[in-house]
Amino acid sequence: MDILSSPSPGLSGREEGNQPGSPQDPTLGAAPTSHRLSVLSHMTEPTSDGPVHVPVLAEEVARLLGGGRSEQTLDGLLVDCTLGAGGHSNLLLGRFPRLSLLGIDQDPEILSVARERLEPFHDRVQIEHARMSELTDLIASLDEAPIAVLMDVGASSLQLDRPERGFSFAWDGPLDMRMDPRRERTAADIVNMWDEGDLADLFFHEGGERGARKVARAIVQARRRTPFKRTRALSETIAISLGKPVRSPRLDAGPKKGGKKGAIHPATRVFQALRRAVNEEAEELEAGLQAAEDVLAHDGRLLAISFHSGEDGVVKRFLLDGANPDGPGAARWDIETRRPVEATPAEVRSNPRSRSAKLRVARRLRGQNV
């Protein structure tokens, strides 16, 4: 169990779209003057977007976690599988005084922020450096089945905002993109070693890049001369291959006139695909969902927030399969959100990153022999 350090009033959250360089991404602004990972008094970066670490759908998470129970009667263990800087967990621990927390995240640097953030609740909190795929083994070491599992999948702005982590195409940095330093494969390894067909498939299926074959061809041709080591060289190659400007102006965080979204940086989708591959995000999500099913107590709730349409589809199909009474065995889930919960217009105005967030909630069902 981790020992927590000093308190801090900061907030945390995940990115809209979980894509470096989405229209709301702070990586499109000027490089910050300091890249030291810290908890700031208002958790803001020097961009016009204002606060960038606000947890999305926070009130909806708190309401659906309770399941109609009062703040004083909700009692048990919450597992936050993607603790990040602790924004959701901080809110839930403050609202439900009998709730305890096991918080995990694969990024040890972000966990240092969470430790400070959650220090006021230190006697109710355990923090571990782990991936969602390691959750079942962690729970097996505890003598308590959780009453809720929360996951907020994707990348955190604390990762995207730091050029040295290699997620940003607007600020030059090493082509890394690993959330967990225990992983050996970097984005540079994929870009420089995968063949053209595999790169094109990755960019199309994991990033939705329609010009995937053009980009893959350009990357393979360029790396024959010099292997890719830095994010800016890659982003410029992508832009040129798509016939786009090498340097994009800063895009407005809000929607354009008529409600249309603004254009995104030409490297956005390729960088998203690389990040997902480096961190095996699809595999981690599937493992996390299965772990939640394995460890949750009867009537325990799974709360899954996603920003990518593919990830939301994975969650939806997993829950529908488990809720099918005609499937093998008894139904394992009672889906409490027939449609995903989305941010209100007011939240989107105050936190544009919430625009793509989708929350699905289901209650675990266990028979007598389970």
**pLDDT number for residue 169:** 84
% of residues, the chain, pLDDT over 70: 79
CA–CA separation, 24 vs 183, rounded Å? 28
Helices 309-323 + 281-295 axis angle, to 10 = 30
pLDDT at 312: 95
Across 7-14, average pLDDT: 33
Mention every residue, 6+ apart, whose C-beta is less than 8 A from residue 153.
14, 18, 82, 281, 285, 288, 304, 305, 306, 307, 308, 311
Residue 42 clears pLDDT 50, i.e. is over it: no
Q: What is the pLDDT of residue 60?
A: 96
Pick the residue with more confidence: 67 or 137? 137
DSSP state of 267: T
The average pLDDT across 258-271 equals: 77
Quote the pLDDT of residue 186.
98
Band (pLDDT 50/70/90 cuts) for residue 53 is low
Question: Mind listing the pLDDT tens digit for each residue in 281-328?
Answer: 999 999 999 999 999 999 999 999 999 888 999 999 999 999 987 766
Q: Give the model's pLDDT for residue 46.
A: 28
CA-CA distance, 134 to 287, in Å (whole number)?
Answer: 8
What's the pLDDT band for 52 if we cut at 50, 70, 90?
Answer: very low
- Tell me the average pLDDT across 153-168: 81
List domains and CATH numbers for the chain.
Answer: 16-158+281-364 (3.40.50.150), 181-278 (1.10.150.170)
CB 119 within 8 A of CB 112: no
Give the residue from 77, 71, 76 showing the smallest Cα distance to 95.
71
